[in-house]
């Protein structure tokens, strides 16, 4: 059984900013200004820990000052470093509420136990959350409702999904009819 | 300029037929539609439409708040790389 990591990746350093040790961070959080509220950040191995202070946002990247990084050379050496925060510092969730970070990567099965793929993303386009599931047979978009997603087990990294049933379409029926007609014509 | 009121909301006629058919069937199925320009009417509330965005059908569960909007507003056509990891998703 897969266990949930206590650390969540919230961004990656993509370069240096200025000559005083600032870095540019591509943030994976909704509001880069919240970076400080999530406590100290660390790298993947946990050897480097920083207190991060967001100084601004430019071209979609957060401009961050890290404690202990005083010049551009040190900042450039950090390029490519992923920044992690403690999961406990992230916002608390209510019942039937899940962090997007927890849902992404979950194994997706049908109620019969058939493997459908894995959750690759969670979208909200104004009509409720939608799970994007990528599997061998392609992409599947499923509304995040109790009817369509009867079971979510974040601890086991498992999501049970009722695959959507599409209403028969007139276009499909027409093409099917044409195909049948063609078959009839081709038959000797 | 806004659309004249006397014309009423625009709707591709076949949507009404599809919605009625789906409602009468009693099954909770997704209605595939390509008409992004059609207005959402009160009698679509509760139904689930799969609105085509040129690439795939995005599920849109129609609620009362959506009445008067167009279907296309809920199925963006541009690539979107998703929300932040700290965003919450509520199962309704």
pLDDT in tens, B11-24: 998 899 999 988 88
Residue B71, token pair as written in the block: 């279907």
Average pLDDT over residues A29-38: 80
Say if the Cβ atoms of B86 and A91 lie within 8 Å: yes
**The CATH number of domain A100-160, selected from 3.40.50, 2.30.30, 1.10.10, 1.10.286:** 2.30.30
A185 vs B67, residue with greater confidence: B67
**In a 3-state reduction of DSSP, which class is residue A155?**
coil
State whether A169 and B32 contact (CB < 8 Å). Answer: yes
Q: What is the ipTM of this complex?
A: 0.82
Query: Which residue among B30, B63, B86 sits closest to A166, beta carbon to beta carbon?
Result: B30
pLDDT above 70 for A177: no
CATH architecture label of A7-88: Beta Barrel (2.40)
Instruction: Mark yes or no for CB contact A100/B58 under 8 Å.
Output: no
CA-CA-CA-CA torsion for A74, A5, A93, A40, nearest 10 degrees? Answer: -20
- Which pLDDT score is estimated for B58? 92
Q: Which residues of A touch B75 (CB under 8 A)?
A: 125
For A117-159, what is each residue's pLDDT tens digit?
999 988 888 888 899 999 888 888 999 998 889 999 988 889 9
pLDDT in tens, B75-84: 999 877 666 6
Rounded mean pLDDT of A49-70? 88
- Architecture field, domain B28-74: 2-Layer Sandwich (3.30)
Partners of B80 on chain A (C-beta within 8 Å) are 123
Tell me if A50 sits within 8 A of A69, measured CB to CB.
yes
CB atoms within 10 A of CB A103: 23
Closest CA to A36 of A12, A53, A60: A53
Contacts of B65 (CB under 8 A, 6+ apart): none
Domain boundaries, chain A: 7-88, 100-160
Q: φ and ψ at A155, to 5 degrees?
A: -60, -40
pTM, entire model: 0.72
């Amino acid at each position: 059984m897969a266990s949930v990591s206590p650390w969540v990746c919230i961004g990656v350093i993509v370069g240096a900013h200025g000559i005083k040790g600032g870095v540019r961070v591509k943030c994976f959080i909704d509001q880069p200004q919240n970076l400080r509220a999530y406590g100290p950040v660390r790298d993947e191995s946990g050897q480097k820990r920083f207190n991060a202070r967001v100084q601004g946002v430019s071209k979609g990247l957060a401009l961050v000052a890290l404690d202990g990084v005083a010049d551009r050379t040190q900042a450039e050496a950090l390029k490519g470093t992923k920044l992690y925060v403690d999961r406990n510092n992230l916002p608390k969730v209510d019942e039937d509420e899940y962090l997007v970070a927890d849902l992404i990567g979950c194994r997706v099965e049908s109620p019969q136990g058939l493997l459908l793929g894995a959750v690759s993303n969670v979208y909200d386009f104004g009509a409720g959350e939608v799970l994007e599931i990528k599997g061998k047979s392609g992409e599947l978009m499923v509304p995040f409702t109790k009817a369509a997603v009867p079971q979510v087990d974040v601890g086991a990294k498992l999501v049970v999904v009722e695959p959507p049933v599409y209403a028969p379409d007139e276009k499909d029926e027409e093409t099917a009819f044409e195909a049948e007609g063609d078959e009839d014509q081709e038959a000797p | 300029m806004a659309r004249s009121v006397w014309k009423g909301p625009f709707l591709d006629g076949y949507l009404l037929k599809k919605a009625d058919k789906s409602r009468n069937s009693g099954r909770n199925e997704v209605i595939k539609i390509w008409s992004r320009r059609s207005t959402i009417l009160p009698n679509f509330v509760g139904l689930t439409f799969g609105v085509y965005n040129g690439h795939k059908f995005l599920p849109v569960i129609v609620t009362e708040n959506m009445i008067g909007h167009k279907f296309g507003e809920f199925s963006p056509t541009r690539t979107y790389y998703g929300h932040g990891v700290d965003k919450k998703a509520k199962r309704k």
